[in-house]
Amino acid sequence: KTHFGQVKCVDISPTAPHWIAVTAYDRVVIYEDYGFESITLESKLQDGYNCTRWRSDGKLLVTGANHPDVKVWDTRGTINRKLKGHKAPIHEVSFLPNKVQVFSASDDMNAKTWDIATGDCLATLQGHKDYVRSGGPHPSHSHLIATGSYDKC
């Protein structure tokens, strides 16, 4: 498929029908596993998307973009929750193994964990001296999270 800008992230749902979420600049497009049918999440976000990740059961997605809100979506393209608290673009997101919390990493030099049901920030991971551009939780221990930053730590 051809996209409307650089592709920044691709993630495949771990459960059937194994939809493919493609993060391509100003939109996130969900394709069926063979790429013939698609759903577009909030087309033409001016700031641009950076990452999209599936929850392990394939029922929800989380997105990070060049604005400070983390968004949790269902597979129909409906926003279920906006998680507000970062002050800069978000470059990495993921679901924690417990499926009810989300991780985000931001250019505000922080990473956060969130409760999906309430939208509350549960923890802010501080200490970096530059943009936090990568990270994520341990696959079986939600309390273990690693981050990476431009400060090389």
pLDDT digits (tens, 9 = 90+) for 126-142: 888 888 888 989 888 88
| Contact assessment for residue 152 and residue 129, using Cβ atoms and an 8 Å cutoff | no
> 5 pLDDT exceeds 80?
no
Tokens of 7: 């592709």
pLDDT of res. 31: 86
Cα-to-chain-centroid distance, residue 148: 16
Q: How far apart are CA 113 and CA 28, in angstroms?
A: 22
- Residue 132's CB is within 10 A of a number of other CB atoms, namely 29
Q: How far apart are CA 2 and CA 86, in angstroms?
A: 32
Extended strands (E) in 13-59: 20-24, 27-31, 38-41, 49-54
- Give the pLDDT score at 51: 94
**Structural tokens at position 18:** 């194994």
Q: Mean pLDDT over residues 22-48, rounded?
A: 74
| Listed range (8-17, 24-33, 38-47, 104-113) with the worst mean pLDDT | 38-47
Predicted TM-score (pTM) of the model is 0.88
What is the tens place of the pLDDT at every residue in 89-128? Answer: 999 999 999 999 999 999 998 999 999 999 999 999 888 8
Percent over 90 (pLDDT), the chain: 50
Phi-psi domain of 136 (left: phi exceeds 0; alpha: psi -120 through 50; beta: other): left
The phi-psi region of residue 9 (left if phi > 0; otherwise alpha if psi is between -120 and 50; otherwise beta) is beta
Q: Which residue has the tokens 């931001």?
A: 106
